[in-house]
Amino acid sequence: MMALPKAGIIFNDIKPAAARAAAELTEKFQDAGYRVYQTTGWGGILGFPRPDSPVCHTPIDRLAAEGFDEAMPFAIVLGGDGTVLAAARQVAPFDIPLLTINTGHMGFLTEGYLNQIHPAIDTLLAGQYALEDRSMIEVRVFRDERLIWEALALNEAVLHKEPLSGICHFEVAIGRHNIVDIAADGVIVATPTGSTAYALAAGGPVITPDVQVLQLIPICPHSLAARGLVFADTESLVVHPPTNHQHLILSLDGNSGCYIWPGDQVRIRRARYRTRLIRLQPPEFFALLREKLGWGLPHIAKPLSVELP
Q: Are 198 and 158 in contact (CB under 8 A)?
A: yes
Which DSSP category does 42 fall into?
Answer: G
Distance of CA 278 to the CA centre of its chain: 16
155 is in an annotated binding site: yes
Residue 265, CA distances (Å) to 22, 70, 242, 246, 308 in order: 41, 33, 11, 15, 47
Q: Shortest CA distance to 109 belongs to which of 278, 230, 251, 294?
A: 278
52 is in an annotated binding site: no
133 is in an annotated binding site: no
Q: Are 197 and 181 in contact (CB under 8 A)?
A: no
82 is in an annotated binding site: yes
Helices 117-125 and 16-31 meet at what angle, rounded to 10?
30
Residue of 61, 81, 181, 253 marked active site: 81
Q: Are 238 and 69 in contact (CB under 8 A)?
A: no
175 is in an annotated binding site: no
264 is in an annotated binding site: no
H helices of 109-262, in order, are: 117-125, 198-201
Q: Would residue 81 show up in a list of annotated catalytic residues for this protein?
A: yes
Omega into 51 within 30° of 0, i.e. cis? no
CA dihedral of 271, 46, 206, 266, whole degrees rounded to 10: -60
- Binding residues for NAD(+) are 81-82, 155-156, 185, 255
Task: Give the annotated binding-site residues.
Answer: 81-82, 155-156, 185, 255
Kindly list the catalytic residues.
Answer: 81
